[in-house]
Amino acid sequence: MLWRHLIGYLPLNIAQAVAGFGGIFLLTRLLTPEQFGLYSLVFSIVVISHSLCFTWIEAAVARSYARAEADQRLADHLATAFHFLTIGVLIVGFLGFTAILLLPFSTELQTVLGFALASMLLRSFFILSQEARKAAREVARYSIMEFFSVMAGFGLGIAIVYATPLKAAGPFAGVLVATVIALLFDLPKMLYRAKGGKASFTELKQFFSYGMPLSLSLILSYVLQAGDRFVISALLGNGQVGIYAAGYGTANRGLDILFVWAGMAAGPLLIAALELGNAQKAKDMARKAFAIMALLTFPAATGIALVATPLANVMTGPEFREGAAAIIPWITLAGLMNGITTYYLVVAFTLSKRTVAMVWVTAAPAVLNIALNFMLLPVLGLIGAVIATIIAYALGMVMTAFIGRKYFELPLPFAEAIKNGLACGVMAIAVLLLPVPETMPDFVKLLIMAGVGVLVYGGAAWLLNLAECREILVQKLLKRSGIAAEIKG
């Protein structure tokens, strides 16, 4: 079932990869480092604001959907969510636009913030609807709507950046238009499920008690991930923020997509198993989820680190390349640790509904990261931010693993991680031994190195039976052969 859900979400993750890498490729050529840095900073503000204001409702709806459906009170459940989300959007919109108009911001910053706030407010309705569909395990509908949202937002954003003077505001304007179109098709269908339901303040309090600690934890996690950009802006300027964001995005975006892909497929299945009283099934599903995460992300991180220079040369504009190439190998290590923590280890807290404890295990690494940035940036430049990130992520991973097991005994599959590390080591040796001429075009280098890496890792994964891939493929081949023989007979 897990592999089937993964395949169902595949088109969406391809779209996210296109938008993520395409955005870096095009925006670092259409925007200056200062403009790209401004866009990155405002994007971080949007993520933090959305997490604080709306994520707690989205997370609570997703976590409680299966139980509400089983108890035949789904209409009330959704009515509560959409009713109070509407109130929250009106309040946040009024306060946000008033602040943008009254505070002494430049016209450029006001424009970027205005489009960013508008897109965030509208997307809150779309995200809530999508979280409900994901919790209902409506893989096809979820993927179609999210695919459209991602691709339309990306395409329109790039077009606006290219054809209008909005520049750093362009990506947010594209997301805004795409969200309006998506809501016209999706929101009425979801609101129909809430028809006849009654909004409950009591249930809202339950949403808040479960979701707000989760939101605070996500904010701290994002501060851990992107808070250094604000320190870089203060100490080194927005141009350096742009270079750092380009390198970080090139290294981390692919890993993040892979982790989200595995997480969105496994999460609803884990919750459903636990809510139906089968804790052991949830643990078995978690073990399989980690195996698939490792199969997807370990070789991706290794490969990105190995091709850092040609990748930076291909993906980023000339003003970004040198700085991006220097940080990419280290950001992949940080991204791997962060992904394992965020999309696997943290599940122990959400499954056990001990979300308050999540705040503490994310607060310490976040504070450490900011403190180390203030210490290291003036001395080491952008590499100082990378070192601070790696140290903070390592602390967060260890704390989350050991504290989380007190609430839900999530498997820690060290053997699977070691086997994946061995396969990655074989892949790295094969790629490093390639006789690639320095004069070869970077894109060709990238294709050759990536192709060899995929082939070698694929062979090693087959031999080591990573994530039971050999067994699954053999079973499918035997099944097809049996069907073919039956038809022939």
- 179-199: per-residue pLDDT in tens? 999 999 989 988 888 888 999
pLDDT score at 488: 45
**Which region holds residue 195: left if phi is over 0, alpha if psi is between -120 and 50, else beta?**
beta
- The pLDDT-based confidence of 247 (bands split at 50, 70, 90) is very high
Segment 338-369, tens digit of pLDDT: 989 988 888 888 778 787 788 888 899 999 99
Percent of the chain with pLDDT over 70: 92
Question: Average pLDDT in the 21-49 region?
Answer: 95
Per-residue pLDDT, averaged over 329-335, amounts to 93
Say what the pLDDT of residue 279 is. 73
Among 131-145, 194-208, 240-254, 385-399, the range scoring the smallest mean pLDDT is 131-145
Range scoring the smallest mean pLDDT among 51-65, 244-258, 281-295, 403-417: 281-295
Separation between Cα atoms, residue 311 and residue 313, nearest integer Å:
5
- Contact criterion met (CB below 8 Å) for 175 and 157: yes
**CB 286, CB 346: distance < 8 Å:** no
Whole-number Å distance between alpha carbons of 376 and 17:
32
Confidence bin at 391 (pLDDT 50/70/90): very high
Q: Domain ranges in the chain?
A: 2-412, 414-489
Radius of gyration of the chain (CA): 23
CB 145 within 8 A of CB 130: yes
Cβ proximity of 66 and 271 under 8 Å: yes
pLDDT given at position 299: 93
Residue owning tokens 């795409």: 178
pLDDT score for 489: 47
Going from the C-alpha of 18 to that of each of 112, 339, 383, the distances in angstroms are 23, 20, 28
Q: Which pLDDT band, with edges at 50, 70 and 90, does 482 fall under? A: low
Please determine, for residue 477, whether its predicted confidence score (pLDDT) is greater than 80: no
Q: Got the DSSP string for 9-22?
A: THHHHHHHHHHHHH
Q: Quick one: pLDDT band at residue 109, thresholds 50, 70, 90? A: very high
> What's the pLDDT band for 405 if we cut at 50, 70, 90?
confident
Least confident of 107-121, 151-165, 230-244, 460-474: 460-474
Per the model's pLDDT, the better-predicted residue between 213 and 181 turns out to be: 181
Phi, psi dihedral angles at 136 (to 5 degrees):
-80, 0
The DSSP 8-state label assigned to residue 466 in this structure reads G
DSSP label at residue 434? -
CB contact set of 335 (below 8 Å; sequence gap of 6+): 251, 252, 255, 256, 301
For 172-188, letters b (16+ CB in 10 Å) and e give bbbbbbbbeebbeebee
| 10-30 and 308-315 helices, crossing angle to 10° | 70
CA distance 210 to 350: 9
* Confidence at residue 5, expressed as pLDDT on a 0 to 100 scale: 57
- Say whether pLDDT at 268 is over 80: no
Whether pLDDT at 337 is above 60? yes
Q: What is the pLDDT of residue 350?
A: 77
Judge whether 390 and 334 are in contact, CB under 8 Å. Answer: yes
- Specify the pLDDT at position 6: 60
Nearest Cα residue to 55 out of 145, 116, 120, 109: 120
At 72-92, the pLDDT tens digits run: 888 999 999 999 999 999 999
Mean pLDDT score, 459-482: 81
Q: How far apart are CA 182 and CA 15, in angstroms?
A: 16
Phi, psi of 219 (to 5 degrees): -60, -45
Residue type (1 letter), 235: L
Distance (Å, whole) CA 379 – CA 211: 40
The CA distance from 242 to 196, in Å, is 49
Nearest to 258 by CA among 297, 219, 301: 297
Range with the poorest average pLDDT among 204-208, 344-348, 414-418: 344-348
Q: In this predicted model, what pLDDT tens digit does every residue of 426-468 receive, in sequence order?
A: 999 999 999 989 889 999 999 999 999 999 999 999 999 988 8
Taking the alpha carbons of 100, 104, 106, 109 in that order, is the dihedral positive or negative?
negative
Residues 304-330, mean pLDDT to the nearest whole number: 94
